[in-house]
């Protein structure tokens, strides 16, 4: 394999080396403003080399797989000015099997993807001809080779498949956007279900419901839960913990959320978007409980951060990023959540996520798609409304967790979650 050639050449001057080669073939079908916009097929190749020379890290990347001597030279040169290496490349460890390739994805035709996109458009148009729609489907097949100087070596083949539909409904000065999408590694996405979900979002928004400023209960849909998960993900990122910027740095083993709340990094779920056998550093993926029954159990580490912090990698390299996040289902049906609220909000999507101070948990966002709950019923869409609060306060103020979860984007599985009270500002 080419990666072995890179290792052999690099090790003439380096004390350690890691090489990877990725090839991808993708086909995407997209409709824009009700019409077929494009059918694109593309191929890409990327080759990377990381070396350790005299205790310093150097790396280089290229798209030219013939440039073996060049990438080795550049990586070695970069090591002269590189940061200190706080780790050694790991030896071979056998990873657990997880299904990430589906021949059906590779073989699906562009005609089929065009057809299912047209069917989604027709379903939504049947509900309301005035919605200006976008839709599409995409697939890619990835081949990956990896090796390092410590004897770790593997190759893998994975597929990815995604389907989406969204649209705008313009009525005078009012613009409503809604849509739904799913990404998976297997050809089992129900495009009709996606279209029907989009229709449901539009239906609930037919009436604009006024809302007053104040503190009120909020239900986050699975999609809307990203409002809380952004700060939480930054909080359990091992690098932020090591640097002391995470508010969770000194909370290991302590209660940081309602006892019903549990979240796990789960990279070994068959066909989930974030699944694979190994991380990008040759370390076998593992299931890592992050919060169990409200108690902080683990942070996520890659090799470098773990070495700097005196910890062990959790197989989340490079970057200490989560793979698939799974939030444990609760005991409350969604309908019962709504039924028990006299006045509150259902939040589905927001604008401005990341503004404020997300590392500390603070958020202040505009609600892009949200609904008013009144006397146990969803009565319409809210406009010109902001939501503000703190993620960690909200996690300690959970009223109910839904009994049915769903995948969001293919790498987050969560039920809806109801928070006691958050600040709502209406303009």
CATH (domain of 192)? 3.30.2290.10
Pair 101, 217 in one domain: no
Residues 221 and 330 in one domain: yes
Whether the pTM exceeds 0.85: the reply is: yes
Q: Find the domain containing 416 and state its range.
A: 207-427
- For residues 139 and 106, give the distance between their C-alpha atoms in angstroms, rounded to a whole number: 7
Segment 214-225, tens digit of pLDDT:
999 999 999 999
Count up the domains in the chain and report the number.
2
**Average pLDDT, integer, range 73-100:** 97
Shared domain for 140 and 188, answered yes or no, is yes
- pLDDT tens sequence across 144-163: 999 999 999 999 999 999 99
Per-residue pLDDT of 13-60, as tens digits, reads 999 999 999 999 999 999 999 999 999 999 999 999 999 999 999 999
Do both 168 and 223 map to the same domain? no
Residues 6+ apart with CB under 8 A from 336: 400
Same domain, 16 and 164: yes
Instruction: Look at residues 204, 231, 256 and tell me which one is the last residue of a structural domain.
Output: 204
Would the pLDDT of 355 be above 90? no
Residue that finishes a domain, picked among 155, 170, 204: 204
| d(C-alpha 227, C-alpha 261), whole Å | 16
Q: Is 393 exposed, middle or buried (0-12, 13-18, 19+ CB in 10 A)?
A: middle
Same domain, 136 and 108: yes
Residue 139 and residue 20 share a domain: yes
In this structure, the answer to whether residues 200 and 234 fall within a common structural domain is no
Helix (H) or strand (E) holding 17: strand 16-32
Task: Give every CB contact of residue 391 below 8 A, 6+ residues apart in sequence.
Answer: 227, 228, 230, 231, 232, 235, 361, 362, 363
β-pair type (35-53, 153-171):
unpaired
Sequence-distant (6+) residues with CB within 8 A of 190 are none
Please indicate, yes or no, whether residues 219 and 140 belong to a single structural domain of this protein. Answer: no
Same domain, 47 and 150: yes
Residues 190 and 225 reside in one and the same domain:
no
Contact 179, 202 (CB under 8 A): no
Instruction: Give the pLDDT of residue 174.
Output: 94
Gap between the Cα atoms of 6 and 19, Å rounded: 7
Q: Taking 80 as the threshold, does the pLDDT of residue 87 lie above it?
A: yes
Segment 172-192 shows an average pLDDT of 97
Looking at the structure, do residues 214 and 194 belong to the same domain, yes or no?
A: no
């Amino acid at each position: 394999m080419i990666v072995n050639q890179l290792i052999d050449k690099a090790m003439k001057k380096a004390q350690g080396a890691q090489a990877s080669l990725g090839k991808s073939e993708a086909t995407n079908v997209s409709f824009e403003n009700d019409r077929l916009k494009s059918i694109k097929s593309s191929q890409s190749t990327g080759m990377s080399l990381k070396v350790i020379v005299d205790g310093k890290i150097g790396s280089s990347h290229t798209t030219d797989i013939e440039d073996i001597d060049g990438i080795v030279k550049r990586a070695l040169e970069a090591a002269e000015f590189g940061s200190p290496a706080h780790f050694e490349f790991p030896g071979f460890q056998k990873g657990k099997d997880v299904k990430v390739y589906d021949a059906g994805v590779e073989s699906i035709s562009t005609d089929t993807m065009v057809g299912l996109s047209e069917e989604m458009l027709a379903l939504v148009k049947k509900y309301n001809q005035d919605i200006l729609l976008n839709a599409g489907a995409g697939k890619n097949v990835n081949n990956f080779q990896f090796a390092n100087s410590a004897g770790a070596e593997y190759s893998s083949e994975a597929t990815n498949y995604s389907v989406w539909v969204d649209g705008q409904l313009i009525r005078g000065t009012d613009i409503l956007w809604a849509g739904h999408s799913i990404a998976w590694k297997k050809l089992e996405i129900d495009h009709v279900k996606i279209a029907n979900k989009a229709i449901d979002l539009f239906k609930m928004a037919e009436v604009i419901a006024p809302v007053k400023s104040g503190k009120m209960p909020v239900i986050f849909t699975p999609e809307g839960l990203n409002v809380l998960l952004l700060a939480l993900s930054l909080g359990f990122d091992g690098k932020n913990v090591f640097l002391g910027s995470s508010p969770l740095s000194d909370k290991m083993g302590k209660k940081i959320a309602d006892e019903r709340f549990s979240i796990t990094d789960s990279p070994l779920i068959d066909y989930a978007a974030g699944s694979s056998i190994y991380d990008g550093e040759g370390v076998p993926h593992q299931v890592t409980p992050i919060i169990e029954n409200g108690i902080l159990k683990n942070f996520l580490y890659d090799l470098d951060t773990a070495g700097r912090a005196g910890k062990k990698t959790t197989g989340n390299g490079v970057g200490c990023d989560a793979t698939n996040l799974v939030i444990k289902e609760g005991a409350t049906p969604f309908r019962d959540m709504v039924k028990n609220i006299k006045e509150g909000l259902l939040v589905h999507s927001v604008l401005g996520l990341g503004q404020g101070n997300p590392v500390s948990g603070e958020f202040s966002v505009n609600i892009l798609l949200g609904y008013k709950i009144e006397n146990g019923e969803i009565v319409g869409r809210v406009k010109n409304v902001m939501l503000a609060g703190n993620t960690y306060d909200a996690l300690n103020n959970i009223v109910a967790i839904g009994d049915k979860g769903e995948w969001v984007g293919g790498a987050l599985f969560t039920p809806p979650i109801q928070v006691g009270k958050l600040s709502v500002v209406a303009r």
